[in-house]
RNA sequence: GCCCCGGUAGCUCAGUGGAUAGAGCGGCCGCCUCCUAAGCGGCAGGUCGUCGGUUCGACUCCGGCCCGGGGCGCCA
């Protein structure tokens, strides 16, 4: 509907003679919903914008535009108001036509075309598989999944991906931690390193490994610890200590280290997969970091950098001249010891995404990764890829509140911190909605009591209740022998003239605009706000007028209206991964 | 020191340069003989952190400052 107005305004501008508003290509028509119904249904501020460059009187310009508007019988009238707004008043037929569209399109109502013909890869969560997901990852999962759904709803072809950090030091530490717990099961007495992973799940992994493999990886404790530097509690450095311990493990176990390593990786990754699956978050691919090296992507990335002449050698290392591409400092790609850096893997991964043919590389990262953005973009550009193909959204932190008190999130504390526990406590629906209720660059205070409460304070229930209430009305109607007759209802929409009914039509028909905007700004919280407003319009309507009336035409028209509302509520909830219950 | 995010009603937060800045919660006053009161209606509540600038017009854009959070490795 908004598109229609924008089209009409664009046509009007194109029709105007060059001296007035013609000539330079006009800016976007800037049509928006009027806030105040006294200002009509839609408002356009283009005349005021153009007035500046044209040195014309905005109201006079608005008058010219209005006169050049193509005739359209869905527009009742236009007005020029205030400093130069053009206000559009739609005919009842315009709203009715849009309702017909809702019924005809069903699940696809609201879908846009902004991304048509383009492919996006959304990478999110990508938590290191060193332990179960915690509540912070939950926000990444909910946000990333919703953004992916939004892009898809706006025409993009979307691929969802989890980058598995299955290489690197953190994973070596995990493997060493598992091995030490395993040695305990073999009867050895060990001192657990300060920097090791202490979680109970490590013991479980060790137990399974021991159950499967017996004492195959047993080494005596004195052979393991002999000659190692001091650990932190003894006045040493915990990083040096753990690195020495890892080196020793690799030396003693040889190929067996990989077996222990994979036991930890596989177990934890399976847990993460299962958790996300249970949360309604699915991925098309779990991309292995190791495969970058194996598949030659890192080599290709470095070759590209060399070919483009953007690298130099200094202190025995190979550097990317990232400062040529907007980064604040140059970055090492190959270390002095010949190993490639993590940064090399990052740009190789992003190059690989481009090689797979994605137009938009959509990354969802923690706010603590913000320094990474300029770096990776610089890398892409240095490899000859467009820097603006990368779009990164940063997620601020989550704080849990229970009964007004902040829940401390240390791994040591007995308080739960895992996503799985959160889901068990508040349910998937509340978790999914609460996680995306706030803008991603706003810190999130997650109120556990509120999320659990079965009251009108809780937006989850408020919204779902609207959906269930509509289903209940339809059920009631059928039970009274007056089932909804869609054909009759759609033929009688002209009977819907009450203020609440007009408000319902205005709200329902905003959905395509919400998708477009929420998708463009990667802002699923907009959908939550919209859902609340649509639900509010429905609850007000419900209280104001009866639906199941004797007059069949009126009854079916009203039912057609609330069925359209149910459709849009369902479509919007679906984007957020929240269920739309038939009864509550 | 440099970079990123935030500062809007008592609280939690919306607000693509446009008209009189909004919502939910909390507070106060009302509404079930009626399709689910998990609901609805009304009232009160604001120097949009602060000081300048750009503009016909600034919560929105630019600069300075103040406050809160995060980040700045040949770590991962």
Is residue A85 within 8 A of residue A30, CB to CB? The reply is no
Residue A188 pLDDT more than 80?
yes
Residue A469 is predicted with a pLDDT of 96
Nearest CA-CA partner of A555 in A568, A545, A543: A545
Place of tokens 């928006």: A32
Angle between helices A552-576 and A524-544 (to 10 degrees): 160
Whether A315 CB is under 7 Å from strand B: yes
What tokens does A346 get? 């990052």
* CA of A439, C1' of B7: distance in angstroms: 15
3-state SS assignment for residue A543: helix
CATH of domain A2-90: 3.30.1360.70
Q: Which nucleotide comes closest to A32 if you measure CA to C1'?
A: B16
Q: Which nucleotide comes closest to A582 if you measure CA to C1'?
A: B36
List the single protein residue with the shortest CA to C1' distance from B22. A35
User: Could you give phi then psi for residue A82, rounded to 5 degrees?
Assistant: 55, -140
User: Could you give phi then psi for residue A358, rounded to 5 degrees?
Assistant: -85, 135
Strand B contact residues in chain A (128-187), C-beta within 7 Å: 128, 165, 167-171
Strand B contact residues in chain A (538-577), C-beta within 7 Å: 539-540, 542-548
Q: Which long-range contacts (CB under 8 A, 24 or more apart) does A473-479 make?
A: A473/A547, A473/A548, A473/A559, A473/A562, A474/A559, A474/A563, A476/A548, A477/A547, A477/A548, A477/A555, A477/A559
Average the pLDDT over each of A203-207, A407-411, A476-480, A533-537 and give the range with the smallest value: A407-411
Is residue A408 within 8 A of residue A433, CB to CB? The reply is no
Instruction: Name the pairing type of β-strands A360-366 and A390-395.
Output: parallel
Residue A410 is predicted with a pLDDT of 57
How would residue A450 be classed by pLDDT, with cut points 50, 70 and 90?
Answer: confident
pLDDT digits (tens, 9 = 90+) for A244-290: 999 999 999 999 999 999 999 999 999 999 999 999 999 999 999 99
Residue A199 is predicted with a pLDDT of 87
Strand B contact residues in chain A (459-498), C-beta within 7 Å: 459, 461-462, 465, 468-469, 471-473, 476
* CA of A526, C1' of B8: distance in angstroms: 18
For chain A, give every residue range classified as CATH 1.10.730.10.
Answer: 459-576
Strand partners, A80: A86
Whether A38 CB is under 7 Å from strand B: yes
Tell me the mean pLDDT in the region A457-483: 94
Residue A183 pLDDT more than 90?
yes
Q: ipTM of this model?
A: 0.95
Residue A413 is predicted with a pLDDT of 46
Whether A259 CB is under 7 Å from strand B: no
List the single protein residue with the shortest CA to C1' distance from B36. A469
pLDDT digits (tens, 9 = 90+) for A410-446: 554 445 678 999 999 999 999 999 999 999 989 998 9
Residue A111 pLDDT more than 90?
yes
Distance CA A511, CA A500 (A): 18
Place of tokens 């020029």: A80
Residues A459-576, CATH architecture:
Orthogonal Bundle (1.10)
**Which positions of chain B lie under 7 Å from any protein Cβ?**
2-6, 12-20, 22-26, 34-41, 55-57, 69-76
Residue A232 is predicted with a pLDDT of 86
Is residue A224 within 8 A of residue A183, CB to CB? The reply is yes
For chain A, give every residue range classified as CATH 3.30.1360.70.
Answer: 2-90
Q: In sequence order, what are the residues at sequence separation of 6 or more whose Cβ sits closer than 8 angstroms to the Cβ of residue A531?
A: A463, A569, A572, A573, A576
Is residue A142 within 8 A of residue A432, CB to CB? The reply is yes
- C-alpha A33: how far from chain center: 26
Please tell me which residue, A567 or A195, carries the higher pLDDT value.
A567
In a 10 Å sphere around its CB, with 0-12 CB exposed, 13-18 middle and 19+ buried, how is residue A441 labelled? exposed
Half-sphere exposure of A265 (CA within 13 A, CB side): 20
Tell me the mean pLDDT in the region A362-378: 93
Residue A412 is predicted with a pLDDT of 46
Residue A23 is predicted with a pLDDT of 46
């Amino acid at each position: 509907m908004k598109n229609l107005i924008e089209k009409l305004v664009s046509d009007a501008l194109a029709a105007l003679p060059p001296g007035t508003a013609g000539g330079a290509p006009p800016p976007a028509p800037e049509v928006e919903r009027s806030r105040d119904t006294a200002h009509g249904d839609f408002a356009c501020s283009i005349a005021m914008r153009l007035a500046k460059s044209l040195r014309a009187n905005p109201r006079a310009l608005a008058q010219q535009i209005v006169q050049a508007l193509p005739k359209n019988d869905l527009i009742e009238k236009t007005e020029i108001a205030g400093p130069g707004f053009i206000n559009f008043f739609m005919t009842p037929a315009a709203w009715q036509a849009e309702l017909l569209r809702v019924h005809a399109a069903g699940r696809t109502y609201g879908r846009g075309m902004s991304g048509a013909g383009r492919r996006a890869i959304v990478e999110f969560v990508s938590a290191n598989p060193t332990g179960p997901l915690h509540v912070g990852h939950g926000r990444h999962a909910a946000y990333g999944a919703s953004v992916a759904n939004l892009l898809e709803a706006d025409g993009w072809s979307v691929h969802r991906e989890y980058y598995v950090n299955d290489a690197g030091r953190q994973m070596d530490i995990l493997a060493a931690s598992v091995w030490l717990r395993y040695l305990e099961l073999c009867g050895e007495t060990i001192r657990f390193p300060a920097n090791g992973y202490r979680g109970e799940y490590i013991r479980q992994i060790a137990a399974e490994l021991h159950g499967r493999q017996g004492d195959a990886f047993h080494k005596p404790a004195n052979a393991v610890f002999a000659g190692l530097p001091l650990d932190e509690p003894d006045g040493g450095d915990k990083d040096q200590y753990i690195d020495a311990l890892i080196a020793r493990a690799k030396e003693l176990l040889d190929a067996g280290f990989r077996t222990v390593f994979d036991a930890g990786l596989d177990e934890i990754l399976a847990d993460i997969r299962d958790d996300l699956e249970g949360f309604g978050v699915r991925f098309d691919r779990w991309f292995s970091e190791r495969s970058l090296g194996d598949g030659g992507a890192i080599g290709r990335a470095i070759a590209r950098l060399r070919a483009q002449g953007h690298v130099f050698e200094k202190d025995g290392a190979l550097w990317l001249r990232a400062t040529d591409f907007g980064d604040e400092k140059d970055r090492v790609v190959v270390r002095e010891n010949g190993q490639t850096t993590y940064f090399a893997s990052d740009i190789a991964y992003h190059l690989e995404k481009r090689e797979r043919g994605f137009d938009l590389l959509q990354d969802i990262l923690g706010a603590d990764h913000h320094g990474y953005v300029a770096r990776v973009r610089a890398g892409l550009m240095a490899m000859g890829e467009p820097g603006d193909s990368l779009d990164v959204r940063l997620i601020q932190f989550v704080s849990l509140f229970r009964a007004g008190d902040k829940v401390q999130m240390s791994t040591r504390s007995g308080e739960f911190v895992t996503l799985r526990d959160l889901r068990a406590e508040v349910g998937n629906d509340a978790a999914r909605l609460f996680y995306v209720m706030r803008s991603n660059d706003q810190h999130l205070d997650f109120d556990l009591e509120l999320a659990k409460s079965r009251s009108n304070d809780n937006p989850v229930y408020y919204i779902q209740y609207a959906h269930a209430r509509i289903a209940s009305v339809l059920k009631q109607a059928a039970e009274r022998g007056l089932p909804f007759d869609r054909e009759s209802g759609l033929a009688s929409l002209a009977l819907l003239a009450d203020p609440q009914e007009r408000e319902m039509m205005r709200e329902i028909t905003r959905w395509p605009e919400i998708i477009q905007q929420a998708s463009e700004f990667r802002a699923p919280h907009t959908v939550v706000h919209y859902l609340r407003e649509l639900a509010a319009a429905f609850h007000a309507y419900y209280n104001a007028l009866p639906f199941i009336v004797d007059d069949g035409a009126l009854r079916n028209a009203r039912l057609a209206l609330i069925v359209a509302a149910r459709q849009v509520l369902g479509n919007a909830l679906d984007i957020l991964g929240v269920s739309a219950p038939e009864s509550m």
